[in-house]
Amino acid sequence: MRMKGCAFIFVIMLHSDISEIVNINMQRELKEICWSYIGRILSNGQELSIGIGCGYIAIVEHEFLHALGFYHEQSRYDRDDYVTINFENIQEGLSNFRIVGSDESTTHGVPYDYLSVMHYGKDDFTNGNGSTIITKDPKFQNLIGQRLEMSASDVQELNLLYKCSNFRNTLGLLVKDAGYFMYASTERGQEGDSAWLETKRMSPQRECHVQCLQFYYYNNGSQTDKLNIWIRDGCQKILPPGLPTSHWTLHHVPLNATKQFQVEFEVRKGAGNSTGGFSIDDINLSELECPDGTWQINDFERFWNSTHTPALIYSPRQYSSEGYAYRVALYLRQTDFGAYVQLVSGVYDDQLQWPCPQRQFTVQMVDQNPNIQLQMSRQMSLTTDPNLLTFTGTTMRPSMLITCMVDIILHLWKTSNPEITSKEGLPFSSSVYKAN
């Protein structure tokens, strides 16, 4: 059964030739199933289904890549050199583990990719008797089946398939272990001296007139130095510099430009002595709302590896645009971790609706890889629902944890008498930054 009124037309132009347009009629299914034909089957448009529980970027990419001609990675004709398929552990009647011969497919010379978004996981379609796929290289056994983002090899093969490889450096987004950033020294000069970085003039493309300026900065100068953000229409936004830091810091600045505008970064020397200055890098401007806050955990991998697991850690308290107080928690395990959002007591509680139905939480774990094609950030949204049932079919109590995915877990409800029952603060270097 399909949901009425939920069909959309996606037109993907990969060539300038109009004959190369792929016309896909995407259907939203009420059952938990996702599927697509392999390649172009119908000239006047074909169906692709995204069922309940499949609405994630990587899963949608997986199905669209099928429509664009991709088979599963473990179906490559050379797969037996890289994985072993345990057919006795596969559910009866499933044939997606068959090899597709070289007479039907090509690898384009791209090496076998354990991290492909088209690869099954080790336990996919198991009948309960063990793993269905064993990697010949044991290091990848727990990595196959990732559903974060297309891998670099997926991108490479798609470019080769559609002869787009000549455009791989479009917009200059790729870097190779090197690059440039703005650096303004405040070691010399007089108080009030400044350096400027200007963007080109830009025009809003959406009617909402909402923009978010995102960038990384590094301050190893004086606490009195300032980083100012100017909009050419005369508005000024000052970024509090805070304490000098040994880490690059992610920051967001909300803008509300209604006409053509230009963003200017000004570094102004303060009164104190300085042995450095301000550095700015990875500037991005999008027509989206800025996040309510950012929790940046420095040296996370080192901390994770040195922490006795399991361990639960919390961010400082933050506030949503409506005034709801919340905090983020990470539950660290030996091989993976869960991310939580938990409503906590705040100064505006007596002015807010409790419980808070139909509020959406969005959590994003940001990959800082400088190569935009290799970034694998994870984003998850969930809307609170007082009628939502648990996985056992019982009504969910406000204090219950809702497990949404393996690595994204959200705690979305608050009792009528909210209190923080755990200690505030963090046992390691971290910061929360509000968009300003």
State the pLDDT at residue 44.
Answer: 77
How far apart CA 48 and CA 86 sit, in angstroms, is 29
State the pLDDT at residue 421.
Answer: 30
How far apart CA 343 and CA 108 sit, in angstroms, is 50
User: 18 pLDDT exceeds 60?
Assistant: no
| DSSP, res 81 | G
Q: Of the ranges 126-135, 363-372, 422-431, which one carries the lowest mean pLDDT score?
A: 422-431
Average pLDDT over residues 74-101: 92
Q: pLDDT by residue (tens digit) across 29-60?
A: 555 678 899 988 887 778 888 887 787 888 99
Q: pLDDT by residue (tens digit) across 166-175?
A: 544 444 555 5
The catalytically annotated residue of 63, 149, 157, 266 is 63
Q: How would you classify residue 107: left for phi > 0, otherwise alpha for psi between -120 and 50, otherwise beta?
A: alpha
Contacts of 35 (CB under 8 A, 6+ apart): 48, 49, 63
CA distance to 104, 105, 133, 320, 349, per residue, from 101 (Å)? 5, 6, 19, 54, 63
Contacts of 228 (CB under 8 A, 6+ apart): 236, 237, 238, 239, 265, 266, 267, 268
What residues form the annotated binding site? Answer: 62, 66, 72
Q: pLDDT by residue (tens digit) across 101-131?
A: 999 999 999 999 999 999 999 999 999 999 9
Identify the three-state secondary structure at position 157.
helix
pLDDT over 70 percentage in the chain: 73
408: confidence class by pLDDT, cuts 50, 70, 90:
very low
Q: Of the ranges 231-240, 259-268, 275-284, which one carries the lowest mean pLDDT score?
A: 231-240
Identity of the residue numbered 6: C
State the pLDDT at residue 235.
Answer: 65
pTM: 0.62
What residues form the annotated binding site for Zn(2+)? Answer: 62, 66, 72
- The yes-or-no answer on residue 63 being catalytic is yes
Q: Which residue has the higher pLDDT, 361 or 160?
A: 160
- Domains of the chain with bracketed CATH: 2-67 (no CATH), 182-286 (2.60.120.200), 293-434 (2.60.210.10)
Which secondary-structure segment (H or E) carries 64? helix 57-67
